[in-house]
Structure 1
Amino acid sequence: MSVLRVKEGLPRGVQGAADPRFGNVIRIFAGLFPGRRFGGGALVVYIDGKPVVDVWTGWSDRAGEVLWTANTGAMVFSATKGVAATVVHRLVDRGLLDYDTPVAEYWPDFGANGKADITVRDVLRHRSGLSHLKGVSKRDLLDHHLMEQRLAEAPADHLRGWPAYHALTFGWLISGVCRAVTGMGMRELFREEVARPLNTDGIHLGRPPADSPTKVAQILIPQHARPNPVFDFVAPRIAGLPFSGAFGAMYFPGIRSFVQGDIPFLDGEVPAANGVVTARGLAKMYAAIANGGEIDGTQFLSPAMAAGLVGTPKVRPDLNMMVPMPFHLGYHESPIPGLLKGFGHIGLGGTLGWADPATRSAFGFVHNRLLTAMVFDMGSFAGLARPMRNAITAARHHGAMTVPRYGATFRETEERSDAPKKRVAGRR
């Protein structure tokens, strides 16, 4: 039995390599991208800190002319939150933050309007009562300093203390507290605290620099801009209501145009939504967590920290999403009980990164579809879940086969930090 490779066991059009016990998983994965109008994607699986699947297929552009490559990254929407949470855990690990300390002790401005007792843990669990956007514009969303300031000045709402998904504000809350103790914005922290120690170029916040090996796939979504006067009139009014739920947490005028064309959304720092990652970079991050905090000889997180990320959250409806979103320290468990073991974060469109410390396994699944004829995109991974579990069990039992290392390693890129740096003590 040998590793599956191009023309040696992998389905037609699939590049990379895989342990042969994942053959059925790869066939299902390939079937998700049946033609040019269905884009492309990548799947990477780790066991015991070693890559056992690293495959990619399809096209990275809307015209179906540019093939997905080993260094194609996708904007992964809310799967970005898992990377942002990992930044926090790295800082906690070094004693720069503490989960149960009020945010205002690090970021004094945040204590305004009765928020002095909201802790870092509350923010990570989506319980700070600051989920709604409250009338922000597209211009506002691209100004992360302004968004941090608005949240620092705002009062918490009636959802304070209750699980209510902070779809976009989560990222600026995290960046505000991390900036306070490091002097760095989240774009730089993604690179310094995650990409660098993992030695991968495949983790960015926002658009990668022009000289980066990681190239962003175009998002597949209709490109027309036909106005809808009724929706445009009603939507902001509904979003502004106190009980607007997920709509109030996600909607802003011009939201669709942000992911069309050249994806203007990538030009800001939105640490809850506009991460650009390769499946390889995302999987490697979760692989370190699942492997006791260690990967490739680097102690990415301490063993105690990695073990503490396995939570026991109560499964209850999220008051914004109205479905179970069992969060623990910035990651969530499977919204569908039993579908996946472990924890991670899913993103709009169905991309996700995941860790299962019980089997010391992890995976990253990314693609560039958002609204296509493949209407089940958000749940597309569901068909891979059971075959994936079976393959991981078989590979662990018989001895997993490591595949070659693909994709670019970490490289310095042009800095775009807009704040003075503080020295971060204890960097590994």
Structure 2
Amino acid sequence: MTVHGECLAEFSGVRDALAANIDSGDELGASIVVDIDGRRVVDIWGGYRDVDRTTEWTEDTITNVWSTTKTVTSLAALMLIDRGLLDPYSPVAQYWPEFAAAGKDQIEVRHLMSHTSGVSGWDRPFSTEDMYDWDLATSRLAAQAPWWDSRTTSGYHAADQGHLIGELVRRVTGKPLRSFVADEMAGPLGADFQIGADEKDWHRIADVVPPPPPAADTYTDPLKIRRRTFLGPLVQAASANTPAWRRADMGAVNGHGNARSVARILSVISRGGEVDGVRLLGPDVIDLIFLEQSNGIDLALGVPLRFGIGFGLPQLDTVPYIPDERICFWGGWGGSLIVMHPDIRMTFSYMMNKMGPGIIGSDRAEQYLRATYAAGG
């Protein structure tokens, strides 16, 4: 299978790895971008949009990127911090008074951004369809009690972080999250990314291909945080291919884009807060990202993780292929990955439609990122 796009010779290992994975069937369709200080040294795509391999993945193909969406949502919050509209150390209830209910009056904005708020999902009963109803979903989160006490212990806010941060965005700007992303981020940067997907773009979406079923003990944990998080609600991967999902505003899970557009937006972190004359952040706010908020076994994912304010930080036990340097990152269910490395002004972005097992990274993401660093990225 031909891999399309541009790739500098020294990064040919990235192109070769993508081509090999498409040929073997490990990859269906995907795109990869490596941006170094505004120069795309890798900008490639290949494979197919559909499991029958009848429609090629093209330059303008987009797909649901799952929790990679969270990185864009966190960037929105950081922009509001930069503008003085949010204070990461202020209680959420200062901006969203209803959130103070059930003992949440001392939970701060940074706790939502670092997965330490104790509100990592919805109290059941709660369905995937309920997530589509913004007022219902946010009012339920505001009313419920936190599931654990420590604000320095993370429990991955798998499906609800976009509603939590998105409601803050709405309260201080008057705009729904998806509109803020369109008007203040994707539009000014010319990035082909959106929360949800406009119907006019559905024809170029690569449907996601669900991952293998989880192991039988996936939702077993002593504190039941994992079970409560991933069953509140239990999201089926195929839901991402439905009209209702695409019409919803869910900043944790339903962003649509490709490697180029995600890199375009997130490279603002690697490039000091400004991309081609569009300033989104100041350096002081970028520094906030790297202030460690938690470091230990995540109560929802059950693996060691480190979180700064808005992003994951390197944790060699869990993601050994991300160097233990001043790097921030996150990815999406099934394997997509976005990595920002400000010290070398490098951004790595990988988006695909065939989901692998697990929440954090994948064998394919590891392969491409290792090839990037081997080339000097």
- Normalising by structure 1, we get a TM-score of 0.79
Unaligned runs of 5+ in 1: 1-11, 224-230, 394-428
Is the 1:258–1:265 contact (alpha carbons within 8 Å) kept by the matching residues of 2? no
Is the 2:122–2:140 contact (alpha carbons within 8 Å) kept by the matching residues of 1? no
Q: CA deviation at 1:349?
A: 0.6
Answering whether residue 176 of structure 2 is matched by residue 194 of structure 1, we say no
Q: CA deviation at 1:196?
A: 1.6
Structure 2: which amino acid aligns with 1:45? V
Answering whether residue 57 of structure 2 is matched by residue 72 of structure 1, we say no
Match 2:44 to one of 46, 55, 74: 55
Match 2:335 to one of 350, 356, 363: 350
Q: List aligned pairs for 1:193-232, cutoff 5 A.
A: 193-200=184-191, 202-206=192-196, 208-212=197-201, 215-221=204-210
Q: CA deviation at 1:260?
A: 6.7
Aligned to 1:392: 376
Structure 2: which amino acid aligns with 1:172? H
Q: What value does the CA root-mean-square deviation take over the aligned residues? A: 2.8
Aligned to 2:4: 15
Could you report, residue by residue, the CA deviation over 1:72-104 in whole angstroms, capped at 9, with x for unpaired residues?
A: 111111111111000001111111111011111
Answering whether residue 152 of structure 2 is matched by residue 168 of structure 1, we say no
Q: CA deviation at 1:65?
A: 0.8
Structure 2: which amino acid aligns with 1:181? V
Aligned to 1:273: 253
Structure 2: which amino acid aligns with 1:273? V
Which has the greater radius of gyration?
Answer: 1
Is the 2:112–2:165 contact (alpha carbons within 8 Å) kept by the matching residues of 1? yes
Aligned to 2:349: 364
Match 1:339 to one of 321, 327, 333: 321
Q: List aligned pairs for 1:127-138, cutoff 5 A.
A: 127-135=116-124, 136-138=126-128
Could you report, residue by residue, the CA deviation over 1:350-374 in whole angstroms, capped at 9, with x for unpaired residues?
A: 10111001111001100001259xx
Could you report, residue by residue, the CA deviation over 1:22-58 in whole angstroms, capped at 9, with x for unpaired residues?
A: 0112101222212678420000011012211110000
Q: 1:264 to 1:257 in 2, by over 3 A?
A: farther
Distance in 2 (alpha carbons) for counterparts of 1:365 and 1:285: 13
Q: 1:195 to 1:176 in 2, by over 3 A?
A: same
Distance in 1 (alpha carbons) for counterparts of 2:267 and 2:119: 31
Answering whether residue 276 of structure 2 is matched by residue 285 of structure 1, we say no
Aligned to 1:139: 129
Q: CA deviation at 1:391?
A: 1.5
Unaligned runs of 5+ in 2: none
Structure 2: which amino acid aligns with 1:16? G
Is the 2:123–2:144 contact (alpha carbons within 8 Å) kept by the matching residues of 1? no
Structure 1: which amino acid aligns with 2:281? L
Answering whether residue 103 of structure 2 is matched by residue 114 of structure 1, we say yes
Is the 2:74–2:311 contact (alpha carbons within 8 Å) kept by the matching residues of 1? yes
Q: CA deviation at 1:310?
A: 2.9
Q: CA deviation at 1:183?
A: 1.1
Is the 1:110–1:151 contact (alpha carbons within 8 Å) kept by the matching residues of 2? yes
Q: 1:306 to 1:222 in 2, by over 3 A?
A: closer
Q: CA deviation at 1:252?
A: 5.0
Is the 1:36–1:63 contact (alpha carbons within 8 Å) kept by the matching residues of 2? no
Q: 1:377 to 1:255 in 2, by over 3 A?
A: same
- Sequence identity of aligned pairs in percent? 29
Q: 1:139 to 1:102 in 2, by over 3 A?
A: same
Q: CA deviation at 1:115?
A: 1.2
After TM superposition, the structure 1 stretch with the greater mean CA deviation from structure 2, 84-93 or 299-308, is 299-308
Is the 2:121–2:233 contact (alpha carbons within 8 Å) kept by the matching residues of 1? no
Is the 1:205–1:276 contact (alpha carbons within 8 Å) kept by the matching residues of 2? yes
Is the 2:121–2:232 contact (alpha carbons within 8 Å) kept by the matching residues of 1? no
Q: CA deviation at 1:111?
A: 1.2
Distance in 1 (alpha carbons) for counterparts of 2:208 and 2:289: 32
Match 2:83 to one of 73, 82, 94: 94
- Normalising by structure 2, we get a TM-score of 0.89
After TM superposition, the structure 1 stretch with the greater mean CA deviation from structure 2, 157-166 or 45-54, is 157-166
Distance in 2 (alpha carbons) for counterparts of 1:188 and 1:130: 25
Match 1:157 to one of 114, 137, 147: 147
Is the 1:92–1:99 contact (alpha carbons within 8 Å) kept by the matching residues of 2? yes
After TM superposition, the structure 1 stretch with the greater mean CA deviation from structure 2, 338-347 or 256-265, is 256-265
Aligned to 1:315: 295
Aligned to 2:230: 250
Q: How many residues are paired up?
A: 367
